[in-house]
Amino acid sequence: MKKFTFALMALLAATFTMNAQQYVSTEPANRNVILEEFTGRGCGYCTDGHRIANQIMANNPGRVWAINIHAGGYAQTSYPNMITTDGNTIHGGFSISGYPTGVVNRTTANGIDRGQWNGQANTQLNQASECNVAGIARINPETRTANITVEVYYTGNSSVDQNYLTVAMLQDSILGSQSDYGNYNPTQWLNGQYVHMHILRDVITSSAWGEPVSPTTAGTLITKTYEYQIPENIGSPNGVDVIIDHIFFLAWVSQSQQGSATRPILTACELEKTTLTDEPIYPSVGAVNQVVNASCSLEKEFNFSVSNIGTETLTAIKFNALVGDATQEFEWTGELASGESTKIDFSMEIPYGTYTGTLNITEANGVAYEGSTTFEAESQEWAELDEEGDFTNIKIYIIQDQFGEQITWDLINSAGEQVASGGPYQHIIGTGTQANVANVNDLPTNECYLFRIYDSNENGICCNYGEGYYYIKDAHGNVFIGGPGNGNYGAEASELFSIHKHGDGVGETVSSSFNIYPNPANSKIFVDGEGIGAVEVYNSLGQKVATVEGSENTSVDVASFENGIYIVRVLTNEGAVTTKKVTIVH
């Protein structure tokens, strides 16, 4: 799997001691940890090992990396075949009895049980390291070439005069079968397939055990460079495609050759990953995300990352976003050097519903350009409350199923601030339901709120373990959101509502003496009737957005208004008030 030119091989054989480093820290630090788990798709207990390794990584972000090595009797050659020559070599360097088993920083010559991994990892994390390691992998997506630079800096003296540097490629999100005796790791199941993570795909250094580096004395900086051709597919038979977006690179330094293995591992890192090409102008667009906030409006906010993987500095980008039948044009200006990334924000009106939109880059640095990506856009209808004062109270009812420990919820406002939260709840012995009530007091009115409820097992709060559901009551005891039957929501559900202050253009009373039309409206709202003193229009947050003097045929120009629900308030010359909700859709 390794492809090198003769000149590059000569370069890799050389070790350079330099005066300045680009990536690696020169400050003393404790060891980082590599956890190599020997696993296989036919191993029913290995998912418990995956879960334990995931938790250790989650507890120590940026300090611990698990490598799943498919080797041994439970590794399967049917699709997806994740067995590799390097994985078999590493597996053969340790005494393995039973699966899953693993080695933590290769501190043992034998694999240890998964129940020991966490304790051994913590021991390693608290030990001082003799060196630090860091670097970068620059990937050209057109040629599938990775140019990798790794730096090792010795903050102390190694106990031996020659260590070993290993660089490996891993891959996430490989879908396939997996034995799982006890549903040990439910979060990695997706539509009946297991999502295999941090899988060893290839070792890039000249040996699976790494290549020698020296000297290993304090103050030494060692820099290694590699040119690696990323394969299209790895594994024979039934190999797995290598998806560039799903790969990442790890580097670690091990102490010495002990038996066939180089061990123990002194420290490790994940290499920074960037994308570069030989093209002068090449903006690369990342995922487009809709901003999650409480927005009682059809105007929704989005952002996306753009990376300059060309050779010239990017100073301007024109792009458009197409959702449904609507297209909106945007322009970004700035200064983005080669290899740098930035986030671009934009907003646009999204009709009620869920859509697949398209973002198109049409121009970069004043030159026509073609690049596009799809994204999901959603506009959710919202409930409305009409309250008297500046603050009000609500009650949130969670009728849980048996697995209350899987249920959490939160409530955020239009600024994205969490104003309330709840759960997890107690586990019920046996099937059934249980009511949990949360009082949320002193919510400001004239505000928009988003209620979100989650289930960590991604199967909602029904149906085989009790018919759970949720609902929300206002300060007067009226249910305005939810009710029986809404518990089958999978991983997450959300509800949007706004609270208006009464007297700020809210409430609805319709009098037969006035005709307020059309509804929905597009460019104008007309109000017919006698004795009209004025017409006011309020948006969903209770803000007055228009006032016109009354006449026999009064009209309000709403062509520039955002799509959404508005309150039209008609004031008569005698002081009477009539209001009506009108939807504006362009």
So where are the chain's domains?
6-275, 283-379, 382-501, 515-584
Place of tokens 């697949």: 356
Instruction: Output DSSP code: residue 406.
Output: G
Q: 336-358, pLDDT tens digit by residue?
A: 998 888 999 999 888 888 999 99
Q: 515-584: same fold as 6-275?
A: yes
Nearest to 94 by CA among 263, 207, 252: 263
Q: Can you tell me the distance from the alpha carbon of 563 to that of 561, in angstroms, rounded to the nearest whole number?
A: 6
> Element (H or E) spanning 59, and its range?
helix 46-59
| Average pLDDT over all residues of the chain | 89
How many Cβ atoms are within 10 Å of 557's Cβ, its own excluded? Answer: 11
- How far is it, in rounded angstroms, from Cα 414 to Cα 295? 6
| ∠ Cα 521 524 527 (to 5°) | 95
Tell me: the pLDDT tens digits for 467-499? 999 999 999 898 989 889 899 998 899 999 999
The number of beta carbons lying within 10 Å of the beta carbon of residue 479 is: 12
Question: Could you check whether the bond before residue 212 is cis, i.e. omega within 30 degrees of 0?
Answer: no
Residue 8 has what pLDDT? 32
Cα gap 520→540, rounded to integer Å: 15
Backbone φ/ψ region at 201: left (φ over 0), alpha (ψ -120 to 50), beta: alpha
Residue among 4, 72, 8, 59 nearest 33 (CA)? 59
The three-state secondary structure class of 151 is strand
Q: What is the DSSP letter of 180?
A: -
Place of tokens 């480093």: 21
Rg (CA), the chain: 30
Spatial distance between the Cα atoms of 284 and 338, rounded to a whole number of angstroms = 11
The CATH architecture to which 515-584 belongs is Sandwich (2.60)
What would the pLDDT profile of 270-326 be if each residue is shown by its tens digit?
A: 999 988 888 899 998 888 999 888 888 888 999 999 989 898 999 999 999 999 888
Q: Are 154 and 28 in contact (CB under 8 A)?
A: no
Question: Higher-confidence residue: 439 or 309?
Answer: 439
- pLDDT at residue number 507: 43
When pLDDT is averaged across residues 202-213 and rounded to a whole number, the result is: 97
Q: How confident is the model at residue 381 (pLDDT cuts 50, 70, 90)?
A: confident
Domain 382-501 = CATH 2.60.40: yes
Amino acid (one-letter) located at 9: M
What would the pLDDT profile of 118-174 be if each residue is shown by its tens digit?
999 999 999 999 999 999 999 988 889 999 999 999 999 999 999 999 999 999 999
For 85-95, write each residue's pLDDT tens digit.
Answer: 999 999 999 99
CATH fold, domain 283-379, is Immunoglobulin-like (2.60.40)
Separation between Cα atoms, residue 61 and residue 120, nearest integer Å: 16
The residues near 245 (Cβ < 8 Å, ≥ 6 apart) are: none
What percentage of the chain's residues is helix, strand, coil (to nearest 5)? 10, 50, 40
Helices 46-59, 117-125: crossing angle, 10 deg rounding: 30
Q: Domain 6-275 has what CATH class? A: mainly beta
What's phi and psi for 509, nearest 5 deg? Answer: -130, 130
Is residue 114 within 8 A of residue 52, CB to CB? The reply is yes
